[in-house]
Structure 1
Amino acid sequence: MSTDDTSRLMHAYFEALGTGHFRQFLTDDVTWTTIQNGADIRGAPAVEEAINGLHARMSDLKTRQLVLADGTAYLEGTCAGKDGRPRIPYCVAYDLAGDRIAAMRAYGEIASFMAPSQ
């Protein structure tokens, strides 16, 4: 996958994130791993639900940097909690397979924004 293809996919995915319906950008066996606590979520429906839950608890998301390369992307940003939690930095690493996202790894103190069962 070229860097241009990676860019197109990731920008379309980020646009769809705002709608809550972005499963079409994920492989069927996609994984989301929260490095802080080792939580691992598998499968497009479960990952979409987890990300929607995560975003429901976050506010004022700001992207500091987005790095795109052949078949991979890295997003560095910050967010605050809707419940008054202080702003935290985070990073998400994306592995792409074909024209979809195959794996995501979230770094930083983002586990506190995940639903309790994740």
Structure 2
Amino acid sequence: MSPDTTTLTIDATKQTMDAYLQALISGGDFAQYFTDDVRWVTIESGEQIVGRTAVADFIGSMHTLLYDAHPVVKSIVIGEGIVGAEFDFVGTNTGDFEGVAATREQLTVPYVVFYDVADQGISELRAYLPVKKVMAVFRAV
């Protein structure tokens, strides 16, 4: 770490994450807690999405367009500028995907996200999410 790099305290990291998760779970403006150049990385596929609007749209689409869903927090570990969180993605498939009609199937999928948190907000989310399991609901018909 260079001498001019500031490490975010555990308390500051916790405050940012508490506010972000509250907004995410309640359907609020969770994107305000992202940096302008925030990066989402889906570890399973290697897919990367960059930018506050693009990342927020991606997360929002999973919770409101493809599914009527919400994350259920199972555990969180917070360090200086880094957070590891375990969730269940709980929802009902309500949206069409690539020409396949919604199945109305209910889904609960465990996943983990690691967050890098800086003074300006969350700068990266690395999601260990079984995308194939989430998308398999569309093949159930």
Per the normalisation by structure 1, the TM-score is 0.84
Percent identity, aligned pairs only, is 34
Aligned-residue Cα RMSD (Å) equals: 2.0
For 1:113 and 1:48, locate their aligned partners in 2 and report how far apart those are by CA, in whole Å.
Answer: 18
- TM-score calculated relative to the size of structure 2: 0.72
Q: Is the 8 A contact 1:37 1:111 kept in 2?
A: no
- What's the counterpart of residue 44 of structure 2? 36
Which structure has the bigger radius of gyration? 2
- Aligned residue runs from structure 1 range 85-104, under 5 A: 85-104=106-125
Residues 1-118 of structure 1 mapped to structure 2, 5 A cutoff? 1-17=8-24, 18-56=26-64, 57=67, 59=69, 61-83=71-93, 84-110=105-131, 113=134
- Structure 1: stretches of 5+ with no match in the other structure: none
Q: Counterpart of 1:37 in 2: which secondary structure?
A: coil
Q: Which runs of 5+ in 2 are unaligned?
A: 1-7, 94-104, 136-141
C-alpha contact (below 8 Å) 2:92/2:107 kept by paired residues: no
Contact 1:25 1:101 in 2 (8 A): yes
Q: Which has the higher contact order (CA 8 A, sep 6+)?
A: 1
Count residues in correspondence: 114
